[in-house]
Structure 1
Amino acid sequence: MLNSLPLSRKQLRSVAQAQARINLWHGAVRSGKTVASLLAFLLAVAEAPSSGLIVIVGRSLQTIERNVLEPLTDPALFGPVVAQVRHTRGATTAVVLGRTVHLIGAADARAEGRLRGLTACLAYVDEATLLPEAFWVQLLARLSVPGAKLLGTTNPDSPRHWLKVGYLDREDQLDLKSWHFALADNPSLAPAYVASLRAEYVGLWRRRMVDGAWVVAEGAIYDMWDEQQHVVDDLPPIVRHWLAVDYGTTNPFAAVLLGLGDDDRLYACAEWRYDSRTRRRQMTDAQYSAALRGWLDALDVEPEWTFVDPSAASFLAQLWEDGHPGTARARNDVLDGIRSTSTVLDCGLLRVHRSCEGLLGELPGYSWDASAAAAGEDKPIKRDDHSADALRYVVHSTAAEWRHLVPDLLQEVNSAPA
């Protein structure tokens, strides 16, 4: 069924053994679990009972298309079988080996309603930890055809996550089979790529995404922060600028200006903050817009883009009305944004100018919420984080602009004398 792609013994063993009601592949990114699980899914489709629906579930239709259907239609992975996988982008069904497969996005608890009345014989779940627990429970209940089974993949999460506690930790009590994958379990990866991946992930994400460990988020979020290394008194010539705003009315309003220097490094060049509690006076959206424009004019800077907290709808509208150039909603995926910021700090790509007092005060104390971790969630403590949030917005929203700089810096760091 596969083309010329090599498979490890663990991959082959997992495909052969995936006969339980619940079958889960979990572990490091790019460790080969997806290819193994998809091969098992194709075999399961070929053997599925004629009664009952076949479903593929993911965070959204787009993630299903990217993570499941695109690999299934890649000749390099599945050879001639791809001719038997048909899907029109945006459609909520696909045809796999002659069977209609229903595609279900499950972004929040409301998605549970999409399963009501459904009877399924086979389900494939992409990134199971990202699904609401209620949806997962309902999906299992809908797998009621004799011989029905679920196949799913996931990267590790908190050790208190419901999937870990309620299912993986109870494997010996359930009709469940799981396989843990590390990078070494994927024989198709080039050594140089593996080395880069190990270097690019830092802190919590290195342990989860590279080592494949279910570990808790604890302590400082930016544990690589070093004021002696990351803080500068002088800036090089800045060739590009981007701005991000964490909007606040009763809470502080923070704007962070990010620049790309002619030395191919990023710099938090300047910061503007307004704390209405300290000033004892709130500002309107129009006043904030004018103040921001005046600050940028004083700096003689015209940012290419201004990224704003997506929840600040009224302020976004005000900026658009005032003709502020390049206004856009920031990418507000908190954990992904923290990961991007961790990467640029850890590899030395980002420096912070000493004038950014809010950032310098917040970054060392920006920490994981222990009570949320105990409940299986990764969340920062929502306190003294306004400039830190603005930095996260601008770094993550511009990732496409600086990502290519990371490998060279990693090589520079790794080749430096000890």
Structure 2
Amino acid sequence: MPDDLPLSRKQLLSIVQSTARINLWEGSVRSGKTIASLIRWLCYVADAPTGGELVMVGRTRDSLYRNIIAPLMNPDLFGELAQQVKYTNGAAIAYILGRAVHVLGANDAKAEPKIRGMTCAGGYADELTTLPKPFFDQLVARCSVPGAQIFATTNPDNPGHWVKRDYLRRAAETRLRTWHFRLDDNPFLDPAYVSALKSTYTGLFYRRNILGHWVQAEGAIYDSFDEARHVVTDVPHITRWLCDAIDYGTTNPYSDLLIGLGTDNRLYVVSEYRWDSRAERRKKTDAEYSAARRAWLQGVPHPQTNVLGVRPEWTVVDPSAASYIEQLHRDGVSGVTPADNAVLDGIRTVGSLFAGDRLRIHASARGLIEEIPGYSWDDDKAEKGEDAPIKLDDHSCDALRYGVRTTEALWRPHIPTLLEVA
């Protein structure tokens, strides 16, 4: 690796001292934990025990490539060593310093059999809290070659999460050594970048991703939402109609939000169609919802113009509403796609937009405006180590995160104040 690669004292200590059976770098984003763990992993692979297989695992192969393997292949980071890392994205095997390394995704409980039967000489786990516990337990068991070690990174999570409960709190029993990193432990970041990154987060995600705390989800989810600031009666010209985003309901309310990108580089919820069958005392069929959606969009005015009617690029639909998705296809609606339903990722993204004043809502979207203040973390699930919203009066809030998260690749280049972090 380059001689001038800057490393902090904490990074250097973690590299030298990571001789335990399990070694975990945990803490805030952009704190330097990943680069330290990768240097240690390269050192380990270069001299790993023979007679067993090496494994790298992430939530998915794509995330593992993006977070870990691509940086290993970057000559700006690892100099000539980067040429000795060979991998094609999506492949099952990488070659690192001449050793074959299994590349695995482990995004649900069904992943555990992938590693069952292996005899491993070492492993690397990215974003450990996103992996199923049975998988990691199996990886620990399978690292049975004498001298085998495991290296892992993670951002903090709920203090009841299995990583905290079963490993960090039982470090001596599990033969684990850990290093805690905070954002301010990385002295090589531009102060302006650090300031912008800190302003990106609020509440729970600030405490976890900036301060590196293992804290329980509690209180309002969008605690930076301010109706006086985020609800507007005047919307600028919309440069791109990104989507209408639908949370489907028959007994529960049906909510459809129209989201566009304004000339001021903000996202706007321009309009909302909502049908509450209990309040209206009548349920609608899929065909009726489709017709109502079409009529609603035809009547939406383009802000700052006299033009009526909007045709969004995408129609993002609750992924559980298979029959309604089929109905939209039958009705010739283009751009229909199931929503990205990664709940915490969606909440974090929406919360960051509110915190940075990059998401505003037109005053006509009353269903959404009324739901947001009561959109709260579920205390009972938090006590069990799970972060989840209370499933009550959350239909427009679900539609909002569906639309924002699913179209992120379209709007993110236009909203540069939001920083991508891992």
TM-score (norm: length of structure 1): 0.94
Q: Which residue of 2 is the match for residue 245 of structure 1?
A: 246
Q: CA offset at residue 61 of structure 1?
A: 1.2
- CA distance in structure 2 between the partners assigned to 1:27 and 1:34 by the alignment: 10
**3-state SS in 1 of match to 2:225:** coil
Q: CA offset at residue 408 of structure 1?
A: 5.8
**3-state SS in 2 of match to 1:341:** helix
Which amino acid in structure 1 is aligned with residue 258 of structure 2? L
Q: Which residue of 2 is the match for residue 274 of structure 1?
A: 275
Which amino acid in structure 2 is aligned with residue 90 of structure 1? G
Q: Which residue of 2 is the match for residue 415 of structure 1?
A: none
Q: CA offset at residue 254 of structure 1?
A: 0.4
Q: CA offset at residue 153 of structure 1?
A: 0.4
Q: Which residue of 1 is the match for residue 306 of structure 2?
A: none
Matched, 1:126 2:126: yes
Q: Which residue of 2 is the match for residue 413 of structure 1?
A: none
Farther-moved stretch of structure 1 (337-346 vs 233-242) = 233-242
Q: Which residue of 2 is the match for residue 416 of structure 1?
A: none
**3-state SS in 1 of match to 2:334:** coil
Q: Which residue of 2 is the match for residue 85 of structure 1?
A: 85
**8 Å contact from structure 2 (residues 201, 355) kept in 1:** no
Q: CA offset at residue 409 of structure 1?
A: 9.5
Give unpaired runs (5+ residues) of structure 1.
411-418
**3-state SS in 2 of match to 1:251:** coil
- CA distance in structure 2 between the partners assigned to 1:266 and 1:62 by the alignment: 28
Q: Which residue of 1 is the match for residue 226 of structure 2?
A: 226
**3-state SS in 2 of match to 1:167:** helix
Q: 1:28 to 1:306 in 2, by over 3 A?
A: same
- CA distance in structure 2 between the partners assigned to 1:346 and 1:176 by the alignment: 37
- CA distance in structure 2 between the partners assigned to 1:196 and 1:315 by the alignment: 41
Q: Which residue of 1 is the match for residue 257 of structure 2?
A: 256
Q: CA offset at residue 407 of structure 1?
A: 4.9
Which amino acid in structure 2 is aligned with residue 314 of structure 1? S
Give deviations 1:354-411, integer Å, cap 9, x for gaps: 221211211000000111111111100111000111111122223334434545699x
Q: CA offset at residue 103 of structure 1?
A: 1.1
Q: 1:208 to 1:226 in 2, by over 3 A?
A: same
Q: Which residue of 2 is the match for residue 53 of structure 1?
A: 53
**8 Å contact from structure 1 (residues 347, 406) kept in 2:** no
- CA distance in structure 2 between the partners assigned to 1:55 and 1:169 by the alignment: 25
- CA distance in structure 2 between the partners assigned to 1:125 and 1:339 by the alignment: 23
| CA RMSD, 1 decimal | 1.8
Alignment of 1:316-327 (within 5 A): 316-327=325-336
Q: CA offset at residue 352 of structure 1?
A: 1.7
Farther-moved stretch of structure 1 (292-301 vs 362-371) = 292-301
Q: Which residue of 1 is the match for residue 159 of structure 2?
A: 159
Q: Which residue of 2 is the match for residue 170 of structure 1?
A: 170
Give deviations 1:55-99, integer Å, cap 9, x for gaps: 111111111211221111111111111122111222101111121
- CA distance in structure 1 between the partners assigned to 2:288 and 2:3 by the alignment: 62
- CA distance in structure 1 between the partners assigned to 2:230 and 2:248 by the alignment: 25
**8 Å contact from structure 1 (residues 6, 187) kept in 2:** no
**8 Å contact from structure 2 (residues 219, 377) kept in 1:** yes
Q: Which residue of 1 is the match for residue 377 of structure 2?
A: 368
Q: 1:389 to 1:309 in 2, by over 3 A?
A: same
Equivalences, count: 410
**8 Å contact from structure 1 (residues 59, 105) kept in 2:** yes
Matched, 1:286 2:295: no
**3-state SS in 2 of match to 1:102:** strand
Farther-moved stretch of structure 1 (170-179 vs 354-363) = 170-179
- CA distance in structure 2 between the partners assigned to 1:63 and 1:267 by the alignment: 29
Q: Which residue of 2 is the match for residue 109 of structure 1?
A: 109
Give unpaired runs (5+ residues) of structure 2.
301-308
